Amino acid sequence: MLLRNVLITFFSVIVSSSADIARLPDGTPDLNGVWQVLNTANYNLEPHPAKAAMAMVPGPFGPIPARIGVIDGGQIPYNVEGRKKQIENQKNWLKEDPEVKCYLPGVPRATYQPFPFQIHQSESAFVFTYEFAGAVRNLIFNSDEEAPIDSWMGQSNAVWEGDTLAIRATGFNDSTWFDRAGNHHSDALKVTERYTPKNEHIMEYEALIEDVNVFTRPWTIRMPIYKRVGRDAQLLQFKCVEFVEELLYGELRKTPVEQGDLK
């Protein structure tokens, strides 16, 4: 009797969960909408204590809050050189983080930056647009096509696995980071993402990360993603290149010539 009740509860949860998922006319889950995470993964994927700001920001707004991390097993399995580089990256965060320079965020970082992203889905097309730096991903379905050239956002080949959207992203350069703690990768990076809708407002996100040049084994991150609602459920422009011109190019500015020096 106990086993019977457990099975009934189990299958009723499955049916209820499936029924709560919005669908397109062809039966695939409808993921259209504006989504955003509510965590601090962009500070550091690994567990970390609270600490002072990494830049000179006064008061309580710059310090980093403590969190338990989003990695299965807790730590990123770096090889010796990979961890050494991560530590150096963290020391030089303000100058070296690609996010600070407003470069495209890469995958999976684009998902958990503190900015919303939007999914545009139809029966014939599937596009992710991100508020940060105007980043875009176009999904190619049922294809093993290799990227013609390495890039910041890579190439995303996708397939439906039941109600889970699975994306195999490859073809990256080595210029993006995973977070502000200096966690990094090489151009051998491969990311397998899975977006699983739990109901109309929540998706479960996981990303399997592989890079034989930097890590001793594959590793996985997990987090929920929430659908934005209300008037604020829209993307606005955050093209931040103009905000970092001084940081990137200020030292190249020529000193104005005084009129007296022209004589």
Q: pLDDT band for 97, please (50, 70, 90 cuts).
A: very high
Bridge partners, residue 12, by sequence: none
Q: Please tell me the predicted confidence (pLDDT) of residue 257.
A: 59
User: Residue 148 burial (CB < 10 Å; 0-12/13-18/19+)?
Assistant: exposed
- Per residue in 206-263, pLDDT (tens digit) is 999 999 999 999 999 999 999 999 998 999 999 888 888 887 777 777 776 565 555 5
- Per residue in 153-199, pLDDT (tens digit) is 999 999 999 999 999 999 999 999 999 999 999 999 999 999 999 99
HSE-up of 30 (CA within 13 Å, CB side)?
13
The closest alpha carbon to 127, from 221, 244, 119, 135, belongs to 119
How do beta strands 33-36 and 117-121 pair? antiparallel
Q: Please tell me the predicted confidence (pLDDT) of residue 94.
A: 85
| pLDDT, mean of residues 121-133 | 95
Q: Please tell me the predicted confidence (pLDDT) of residue 241.
A: 85
The least confident of 34-43, 51-60, 173-182, 189-198 is: 51-60
- Per residue in 130-159, pLDDT (tens digit) is 999 999 999 999 998 889 999 999 999 999
| pLDDT, mean of residues 20-44 | 95
Q: Which domains does the chain have, with CATH numbers?
A: 24-58+65-249 (2.40.128.20)
Bridge partners, residue 238, by sequence: 132
Whose tokens are 């990094």? That residue is 184
Q: Please tell me the predicted confidence (pLDDT) of residue 123.
A: 87
φ and ψ at residue 211, rounded to 5 degrees: -165, 100
pTM attached to this predicted model:
0.86
The mean of the pLDDT values for the chain is 88
How open is the CA angle 114-211-71, to the nearest 5 degrees?
A: 45
